[in-house]
């Protein structure tokens, strides 16, 4: 999705370009309406957009609207050409685009190269395939413990009792979290994620305050006793010359922990729903006819925890 602008260009099938203002305004359910996804047919809406108007204008409340870019080619252009389509104005739709977005231009998700590249380089060593593979044993232990509790209880709310408990319990050390704080931070990161749809929400703002307080309290300790974790990596890069203040370190940690918890919880929950709706696939997975790695990749593709992302031209 793109904020209003007069000069976006998108590719057509013949390779030529045309002004985005030639796109058609759509008379259909709002793409941002949760009811479209819970009670409507989003697949048909998106199919019509891709086929009939891959770049279309949509009204969005009293503050104007946005362009919806719905094909792979045009979407890839918007997401990769940061010189024309910036992340620094925010990545979620909000009531008023003219208001400054908290953390814009400082947090990794809200910055463009070269700053984005510098921040990513500082922490990417924590998230390599080799580094993550070392967490496999811990992951199995966390999941086994969560499932054991469900077996003993006889029933559960899968999203709340299983999916929500896994992300931070697995990655606590990586995200600079003590085990004593996992339950509290799992709760507040879920609440904080609501600011993607309600940036003025008091509960979401208070949840972010709790996360910021957590990281502000440990930054000095991690500077004295660094480890293989997020805060240590950022403060180490800071000491080596990275232009990032303590406030920006804390904001970046807030960004990473909320994203890690929310997207994983949604992917696990939606993946379970997909298996319940396709029992033959579940049986094939249990029988070993489908590879677990392939299934995990397919869960991420099929469930798509993030359904939209915004850039400003």
pLDDT of residue 206: 84
235 touches 221 (CB < 8 A): no
Q: Is 216 exposed, middle or buried (0-12, 13-18, 19+ CB in 10 A)?
A: middle
The whole-chain average pLDDT of the chain stands at: 83
pLDDT of residue 287: 95
pLDDT of residue 17: 40
With CA atoms as reference, report the closest residue to 142 among 112, 99, 117, 174.
174
Summarised one tens digit per residue, pLDDT across range 132-165 is: 888 888 899 989 988 988 888 888 899 888 898 8
What is the separation of C-alpha 85 from the centre of its chain, rounded to a whole number of angstroms?
A: 19
Q: What is the pLDDT along the chain (313 residues), one digit of tens a residue?
A: 665 443 333 333 333 344 444 455 556 678 888 888 889 998 899 999 999 999 999 887 766 788 999 999 999 999 999 999 999 988 887 777 777 777 788 888 899 999 999 999 999 998 888 888 888 888 999 899 889 888 888 888 998 888 988 888 888 888 888 888 888 888 888 787 765 555 556 777 888 888 888 899 899 899 999 999 999 999 999 999 988 899 888 888 888 888 888 888 889 999 999 999 999 999 999 999 999 889 989 988 888 888 789 999 9
What is the separation of C-alpha 236 from the centre of its chain, rounded to a whole number of angstroms?
A: 25
278 touches 2 (CB < 8 A): no
């Amino acid at each position: 999705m793109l904020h209003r602008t007069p000069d976006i260009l998108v590719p057509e099938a013949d390779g030529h370009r045309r002004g985005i203002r030639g796109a058609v305004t759509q008379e259909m359910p709002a793409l941002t309406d949760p009811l479209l996804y819970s009670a409507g047919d989003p697949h048909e809406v998106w199919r019509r957009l891709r086929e009939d108007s891959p770049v279309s204008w949509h009204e969005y409340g009293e503050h104007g609207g946005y362009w919806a870019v719905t094909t792979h080619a045009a979407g890839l252009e918007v997401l990769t050409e940061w010189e024309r389509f910036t992340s620094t104005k925010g990545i979620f739709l909000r009531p008023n685009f003219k208001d400054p977005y908290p953390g814009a231009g400082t947090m990794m998700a809200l910055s463009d190269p070269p700053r984005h590249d510098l921040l990513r380089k500082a922490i990417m060593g924590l998230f390599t395939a080799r580094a993550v593979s070392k967490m496999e044993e811990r992951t199995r232990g966390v999941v086994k413990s969560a499932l054991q509790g469900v077996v003993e209880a006889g029933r559960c709310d899968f999203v709340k009792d299983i999916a929500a408990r896994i992300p931070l319990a697995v990655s606590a050390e990586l995200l600079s979290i003590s085990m004593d704080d996992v339950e509290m931070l799992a709760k507040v990161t879920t609440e904080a994620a609501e600011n993607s749809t309600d940036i003025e929400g008091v509960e979401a703002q208070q949840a972010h305050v709790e996360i910021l307080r957590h990281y502000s309290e440990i930054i000095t300790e991690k500077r004295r006793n660094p480890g293989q974790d997020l805060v240590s990596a950022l403060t180490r890069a800071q000491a080596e010359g990275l232009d990032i203040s303590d406030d920006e370190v804390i904001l970046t940690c807030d960004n990473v922990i909320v994203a890690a918890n929310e997207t994983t919880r949604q992917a696990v929950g939606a993946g379970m729903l997909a298996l319940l709706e396709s029992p033959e696939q579940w049986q094939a997975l249990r029988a070993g006819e489908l590879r677990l790695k392939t299934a995990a990749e397919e869960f991420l593709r099929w469930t798509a925890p993030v359904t939209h992302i915004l850039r400003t031209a």
